[in-house]
Amino acid sequence: MFADVGVLNYWTYLLGAIFIIMVPGPNTFFVLKTGAAHGIRMGYLAAFGVFVGDAVLMFLSYAGVATLIKTTPVLFNLVRYLGAMYLFYLGVKMLWSVIRQQGGQHAHGAEQGSKILRRALTLSLTNPKAILFYVSFFVQFIDVKSATPGLAFLILAVTLELVSFIYLSFLIVSGSLVTRFVGSRKNLVKLGNSLIGLVFVGFAARLASLQS
């Protein structure tokens, strides 16, 4: 499928993309938390930020910028530490909001939406593991000798975004339903926020120790 436009082993790529997207990561947990805490609409706003961030990284990968970052230790480390610091900041902020029993509900409306979108974008764009993925994974399924390598890359990118949309939609809806089910059980909500905060701190530590 799509072999005539330079895509190699499309179904293998699709299967690999599904498994990779389903591996838990900072973006996944952020979208899940947003959908559970703020509802389906805000959950999709967070997912939109992830989609835009991934699209930017995929374009940079195609343009060769991602390869430059991968092969230049200074640039790689800069992105790595920025991402680790931001994850640590989000994790500590979640834990602190639980301690103060605010639950992160102090912002509303457009201000809240703007913060969610900005955080989702930042999480995506400061993830060096995503950059390495786009550099190493995409090239395995593109025939560089094809007359239309750009079209092949676009097909793979759109496929990845569609798979991500389906999976994140499941997380958003299920997270919102779980919140409705637990209702006003504040202790359970606080426990969930605490666990996700700890997960973000763990991601920060792992990202900071990632080797270039």
pLDDT digits 0-9 by tens, 19-62? 878 877 788 888 988 888 788 999 999 999 999 998 888 887 77
Average per-residue pLDDT for the chain: 77
> By percentage, how much of the chain surpasses pLDDT 90?
14
Q: Is the pLDDT of residue 104 over 50?
A: no
Helix (H) or strand (E) holding 18: helix 10-22
| Residue 63 CB neighbours (<10 A) | 10
Q: Is the pLDDT of residue 100 over 80?
A: no
pLDDT at 127: 72
Of residues 42 and 197, more confidence is placed in: 42
Three-state SS for 25? coil
Tokens (6 digits) for 191:
């426990």
Q: Is the pLDDT of residue 198 over 60?
A: yes
Q: What pairs with residue 142 in β-bridges?
A: 7
Three-state SS for 142? strand
Q: How far apart are CA 9 and CA 156, in angstroms?
A: 11
Q: Are 123 and 50 in contact (CB under 8 A)?
A: yes
Confidence class for position 71, pLDDT limits 50, 70, 90: low
pLDDT at 166: 95
Q: How far is CA 105 from the centre of its chain?
A: 22
Cα 108 to Cα 10, 59, 105, 120: the distances in Å are 43, 33, 7, 17
Closest-CA residue to 201 (of 38, 32, 66, 88) = 88
The answer to pTM > 0.85 is no
Q: Is the pLDDT of residue 169 over 90?
A: yes
Closest-CA residue to 31 (of 138, 166, 141) = 166
Residue 145 φ then ψ, to 5°: -85, -5
Q: How far apart are CA 95 and CA 106, in angstroms?
A: 15
> By percentage, how much of the chain surpasses pLDDT 70?
70
pLDDT digits (tens, 9 = 90+) for 142-162: 886 778 878 888 899 899 999
pLDDT at 170: 93
Q: Is the pLDDT of residue 211 over 60?
A: no
Of residues 101 and 173, more confidence is placed in: 173
Q: Is the pLDDT of residue 69 over 90?
A: no
